Structure 1
Amino acid sequence: MSILQKASRWFTVDDSVLDEDFSLVPDDMQDGGEEQGPDHRRKSQREERPTQKQKPEEKPSKREEPQSREQREHRDEPKPAASKPSPSPRKRHHRVKPKKIGARQEPEAREEPEADTAEDTADRLPEKNAPAAELPLKIRRPQKKSRSHQPKIMGKELQPDPRTENLDFKPTYPEFVSPVLEENRRTVEDVFQIPLNADFIIRDFTISTVPPVQAFAVFMEGLSDKTIINNHILEPLMLLAEVPHEPPALSRADLLRKTLIPGNQLTEETKWKAVKNTILTGTTAVFVDGMKEVLLVETKGFEHRSVGDTKTETVVRGPHDAFTEHFRTNTGLVRARLRTEKLITEITQVGELAPTDVAIMYVDGICNPKLVREVRRRIQDVKVDFLQDSGILEQMIEDGPPGYVPRMLATERPDRVAQSLSEGYVAVFVGQSSQVLVLPTMLWTLLHTAEDAYIRYPFGTFLRLIRFAAFLIAMLLPALYIAVTNYHPEMIPTDLMLTIASSREKVPFPVVVEVLLMEIAIELIREAGIRIPNVIGPTIGIVGALILGQAAVQAGIVSPLLVIVVSVTALAAFTMPNYNLSFAVRTLRFLMMAMAAVWGFYGITLGVMVLLTHWTTLKSFGVPMMTHVAPYKQSSEDVILRGPVFRQEVRPGALYPGLMKRQLRFLRKWDPRTHDSREAEERIDEENRRIDTEGINQSGRRGGKKT
């Protein structure tokens, strides 16, 4: 008998048997052979058992088939010690038919099995009081249960907790704060689950007034600065509280706020929901006996990353600071550049389970009020439990349908946000996210960088043209290679065609498979360079690409020309200034490769036309993505190409800003070509007044249009 047969016999159980105790009888016991192995040893052990054992008669159970009188007599007879059963043909023992669990057991008509000899019966049935090691193998068959899609833990189905079936995060605490200190303490313990939740601290103390007043402070460990709490709350109230014998007619809340607590940001609150949300941000709440108001003192002091260099939008000339994961630090970086009282910051909270701060920033008088209202409405309509990052909010409030091109500009540069706000855009800050959303946006804006404004316009124009060319190369170059090689070889010069043919002579794959393998390899190297630690990440990217390309060419898997094509495509993709746009280009590249593999140049042309048609239908908060081209709008010379700074006189017309004019006609009084006479200066002043009048009229007419 082979090992596989033995293994299948040991680990196979008949599914038709529903009995809980099932004896797996080896085949050797049924055959009666003298085969060597584990079955033979078990048979020898049974032969060495004592022969004189009396077994009392037992009534047959419902699951045991009734035995005849002759069979019971043979079972009770002693077994010969040295007798060996003669070889006999294999007998199939009858098995009980499956029965439904819980159903009434009734005898069934069946064929009687062949009569067994005394030796076979004695070998098959275990003796009572036999050692456990000598008993046949028992397998307990559990009752079959209906299959369930619920996860299992330790063999048991995970059942839903009835306490959380209809959980909707509705408050279970009272609406207003009680003047009784003990009731407020019990509410605080119930809301924050103290002492189970070790992050929240309750500090009881006595205010040293005449007479003394009991109070307690609640703050969150890790989000609150303990030094501020000790120096500006506990120490003044416990040690330095001095109230005159005849205090003025002030309430207890005014007395504490105006004379005892020196905190620079102190507010009063009477609703429990506001108190709870404020404590969760790191503020300390002071509850005083007899007061219906809670004193909220600003004590935020958690650790966060300091302002550093940008990670994804590096520049050579220009500011090097970047946004961090601190909400107020990010808004402060913008206000440090845009110092005007017209800069408005509206703060709201998004999230039912854990509210996240979301700020809407715009310049009043310049930004279109309808745009601000639409942004505010979409953010307020977001109903989620937790908002983790600005990327999630971007996908929730963007215009549908979803597309490959991002509808908002995500940046980590404060100078770029400040410049956009001055032109009439809206900026959205999200909680602990280091990426700020600027909206609306156009396709051309995604190819701009902050450095374009800090260098001369010829150089800025040249860099923008390079980026536009890189955008087309990264999306179309592999597809063009497939189309030319497979469908249009007559378009290639003869010498180049012979070179391509000779280089592909030993390549066993078609061009499509060859390009696909190299593109997947480049994507793997790119992803590995991002995920590997920073110490060895750049090394893996450079060395991996060089070694992989050289080895692939030497092995004859790809041609040398294809390595050049894929390398140029990867370099072009790396020049994309926007991270989300680079993902779109990488995805569209494979789509264009598929179109070229099927239809050649016709497929590429069809794909480009479909993309252009799709992009012209996309909108970002009512503004078409292809604005300034389709449709055409009046704007400054800073949309597609970079024009001179002194000619950028108006703001983008697609935003319908409140003030269209951005700057007056620049008068270079030191330049003789612009200041030849007094008439030239008067003519320029008249032109400036005309621009002012046109800007006011255009602003009034465009106010009624929808954006």
Structure 2
Amino acid sequence: MSFWSKIGRLFTVDDSIMDEDFSLVPHDQGGGNTNGDERKQDTNDHGAGNIDGREQEKDGENHEEEKEKDIETDEKKAKAKTVKPKKMIPDKETGAIKLHSQSEKNENEKQEDKQKKAAQEIKDKPIPEKVSEQLYINRAWVEKIFHMPTNADVIIRDFTIPLSNPIKAFAVFIEGISSKETINSFILEPLMLLAELRSESMEEGALKTVKEKLLPGNQVMEYELWEDVKKNILSGSTALFLEGAKKVLIIESKGWEQRGVGETQTETVVRGPHDAFTENLRANTGLVRSRLRTESLITEMMQVGELAPTDVAVMYVDGITNPKLVQEVKRRIKGIKVDFLQDSGQLEQFIEDPPKGFIPRMMATERPDRVAASLAEGFVVVFVGQSPYGLILPTFLWSLLHTAEDAYLRFPFGSFIRLIRFVSFLMALLLPAMYIAVTNYHPEMIPTDLMLAIAAARELVPFPVVLEVLLMELSLELIREAGIRIPNVIGPTIGIVGALILGQAAVQAGIISPLLVIVVALTALASFTMPNYNFSFAVRTLRFVFILVAAIWGFYGITLGVMALLMNWATIKSFGIPMLSVVAPFKPSSPDVILRGPIFKQENRPSALRPQDSRRQRHFTRRWDPTTHDSEEARRQLEKDNSLLDQGGDQRD
């Protein structure tokens, strides 16, 4: 072969490496010496011949023509076989220059063609039960399920895992409910950058290798059903699809914006914790676990909703809570067939006993300490999605008048506060009705001077007593609702100033009597003392019922209304347990029903719940106190006194 032909071979690429990355390295010195030797040999051969001048000239012309033909042929071959490099990157170990060919671009184009073809094939097909092993088919199904590219907040990230055998993959997550920091730091970075630094074998399979050796996330699960994959993506997790894998890796990456733990808004206390639940289900269960640190505390997760599933957590203490109660709660939750569940208030209406009456069957609270105390007594607590309230069930009527602060006060103070609440409950329910009954039907029941004062005050009022009371009550409800809906900065001001101005103007105009303003103000203050928001609504609604029956029948109507209300309450049950339990029917219980007894006497859990363990604390909780009749020291002193009495009796004998 001629010299120029060998030079042309340096720029020629073999067909066997057309579709692969290759390294262009300089030839060794031996190759250069060989060329030099050949050139030297050619020169010697030409110089040693005994050829005449004409023959040498003719041979020289023929040799030049042959060289030109060889060069043209080699150039054509080089143009046909040489691949235009995309970029030149020096290798880290050898220093050789790697030329990345156009094969990568061609491969991407082929992948796009496959993707488009797969999208057309599955356009009218139903979603299969399980995921496919082929990556492009899974990607097409993801685009169809989440309506891409119309749906702009669903993100698909394609990449290659640079292991010994590179693996094509893609990740799917929803922007806004997934943490970008978690995805970048604990999913993409380990798979795309750190995997190249590791020499992992693929003997165990791609899925197992990636899951156990390349993903540092705290929770990585495997799923093969599209329904499970879809639910986890919609919950904020990231789905990782691998080429050739029959399952999908679901990595925990939830991270939507949320309100931090703040102070309670509806159950404020002076003494006790001030933290409250927030719009994060896991944060709420964590607040409960931080107080009730026991392995027996169980949290079962359920989902409600056919269009958009909502997470529901059922919490109870194993070994204390009645298993039948837990099963009944879960049975009712599973029976809910609704598209979307927004709040715990909706769940309460779905699972409560037949809605007869105004009294709530469950207690809604935003205090973690109250939930922890209820769980320890054998109750069940339910949390719903992004609702900042927990539902304590079942509940008793007496519990609706209790607060968490009662347990933190000494029993005389706690009993006094509870007594005030019970009196306030009766005032908020019956005071306006009693005013109507006394004014219209039974004026002889009040002192004569007071009766004359009421008559004189009402002399210029043009409306009957019933209409007068209804106008004031409706005005009060209007002010209350306005104070809630307007901005917090001016809300309290509107409530106070509006009530004062409205009452004073109504009295001066002669529309209402001054005594009625006092009655309505006392009623409003009494209703504000109701610790439970739903129970306060019930009292306010029933107040209008008693106003009407008092306007028709006076005290007889009020008596009939109270009897009907008690009969209704006696029939109401909360998950099969009468709401008047402990009193009607009577059940032996600790002294913590209407009034609050000493804390060392509250030894038993509510018997109406039928807990597995009825004992809440030891029988002798103050053994060191000699004034306690059941302490050990008191018993020893009693035995000593009895022995002395016996000795004195023997001496007299």
Q: TM-score, normalised by structure 2?
A: 0.77
Letter in 2 for 1:516: L
CA deviation digits over 1:312-365, x for unaligned, max 9?
A: 000000000000000100000000000000000000100000000001000001
Matches within 5 A, 1:408-419: 408-419=362-373
CA deviation digits over 1:494-546, x for unaligned, max 9?
A: 11011101111110111111111101110100000001110110010000000
CA deviation digits over 1:389-419, x for unaligned, max 9?
A: 0000000100014320000000000000000
Matched, 1:467 2:421: yes
Matches within 5 A, 1:591-606: 591-606=545-560
Corresponding position of 2:577: 623
Matches within 5 A, 1:219-368: 219-242=173-196, 247=201, 249-368=203-322
Matched, 1:538 2:492: yes
Letter in 1 for 2:298: I
CA distance in 1, matches of 2:376, 2:208: 42
Corresponding position of 1:388: 342
Task: Specify the SS of the correspondent of 2:263.
Answer: coil
CA distance in 1, matches of 2:443, 2:382: 51
CA deviation digits over 1:656-706, x for unaligned, max 9?
A: 00001111123434433249876826999xxxxxxxxxxxxxxxxxxxxxx
- CA shift, 1:249, in A, is 3.7
Corresponding position of 1:174: 128
Corresponding position of 2:615: 661
Corresponding position of 1:132: none
Task: Specify the SS of the correspondent of 1:186.
Answer: helix
CA distance in 1, matches of 2:288, 2:312: 15
CA distance in 2, matches of 1:510, 1:679: 67
Letter in 1 for 2:509: A
CA distance in 1, matches of 2:397, 2:291: 26
Task: Specify the SS of the correspondent of 1:567.
Answer: helix
Matched, 1:508 2:469: no
CA distance in 2, matches of 1:435, 1:428: 9
CA distance in 2, matches of 1:389, 1:573: 25
Q: Residue 667 and residue 386 in structure 1: after superposition, are their counterparts in 2 closer, same or farther (change >3 A)?
A: closer
Q: Is the 8 A contact 2:624 2:631 kept in 1?
A: no
Task: Specify the SS of the correspondent of 1:344.
Answer: strand
CA deviation digits over 1:77-123, x for unaligned, max 9?
A: xxxxxxxxxxxxxxxxxxxxxxxxxxxxxxxxxxxxxxxxxxxxxxx
CA distance in 2, matches of 1:406, 1:245: 63
Q: Residue 191 and residue 493 in structure 1: after superposition, are their counterparts in 2 closer, same or farther (change >3 A)?
A: same
Letter in 2 for 1:461: S
CA distance in 1, matches of 2:638, 2:336: 53
CA distance in 2, matches of 1:243, 1:176: 33
Corresponding position of 1:608: 562
Q: Residue 682 and residue 206 in structure 1: after superposition, are their counterparts in 2 closer, same or farther (change >3 A)?
A: farther
Corresponding position of 2:55: none
Corresponding position of 2:538: 584
CA distance in 2, matches of 1:245, 1:333: 43
Letter in 2 for 1:680: R
- CA shift, 1:243, in A, is 7.7
CA distance in 1, matches of 2:175, 2:210: 24
Task: Specify the SS of the correspondent of 2:314.
Answer: strand
Matched, 1:372 2:295: no
Which of 510, 527, 537 is equivalent to 1:573? Answer: 527
Task: Specify the SS of the correspondent of 1:286.
Answer: strand
- CA shift, 1:251, in A, is 1.8
- CA shift, 1:240, in A, is 1.0
Letter in 1 for 2:356: P
CA distance in 1, matches of 2:371, 2:501: 42
Matched, 1:680 2:638: no
Corresponding position of 2:381: 427
CA distance in 1, matches of 2:161, 2:325: 51
Task: Specify the SS of the correspondent of 2:300.
Answer: strand
Task: Specify the SS of the correspondent of 1:241.
Answer: helix
Task: Specify the SS of the correspondent of 2:364.
Answer: strand
Matches within 5 A, 1:547-558: 547-558=501-512
CA distance in 2, matches of 1:213, 1:325: 39
Letter in 1 for 2:590: S
Matches within 5 A, 1:200-211: 200-211=154-165
Letter in 2 for 1:227: E
Corresponding position of 1:701: none
CA distance in 2, matches of 1:422, 1:384: 32
CA distance in 2, matches of 1:682, 1:498: 66
Task: Specify the SS of the correspondent of 2:561.
Answer: helix
- CA shift, 1:246, in A, is 7.5
Gaps of 5+ in 2: 1-124, 640-653
Higher alpha-carbon deviation: 177-186 or 245-254: 245-254
Gaps of 5+ in 1: 1-170, 685-707
Matched, 1:522 2:489: no
CA distance in 1, matches of 2:195, 2:554: 86
Q: Residue 384 and residue 487 in structure 1: after superposition, are their counterparts in 2 closer, same or farther (change >3 A)?
A: same
Q: How many residues align?
A: 515
Letter in 2 for 1:348: M
Q: TM-score, normalised by structure 1?
A: 0.71
Letter in 2 for 1:384: V
Q: Is the 8 A contact 2:229 2:239 kept in 1?
A: yes
Task: Specify the SS of the correspondent of 2:617.
Answer: coil
CA distance in 2, matches of 1:322, 1:401: 29
CA distance in 2, matches of 1:553, 1:449: 37
- CA shift, 1:253, in A, is 1.2
Letter in 1 for 2:554: G
CA distance in 2, matches of 1:380, 1:357: 12
CA distance in 1, matches of 2:302, 2:126: 23
Q: Is the 8 A contact 2:356 2:572 kept in 1?
A: no
Corresponding position of 1:217: 171
Q: Is the 8 A contact 2:457 2:514 kept in 1?
A: yes
Corresponding position of 1:646: 600
Task: Specify the SS of the correspondent of 1:668.
Answer: coil
Corresponding position of 2:106: none
CA distance in 1, matches of 2:351, 2:300: 17
- CA shift, 1:300, in A, is 0.8
Corresponding position of 2:394: 440
Corresponding position of 1:190: 144
CA deviation digits over 1:445-504, x for unaligned, max 9?
A: 000000000001001001111111111100100000000000001111011011101111
CA distance in 1, matches of 2:292, 2:199: 50
Q: Residue 682 and residue 362 in structure 1: after superposition, are their counterparts in 2 closer, same or farther (change >3 A)?
A: farther
Q: Residue 535 and residue 422 in structure 1: after superposition, are their counterparts in 2 closer, same or farther (change >3 A)?
A: same
Corresponding position of 1:65: none
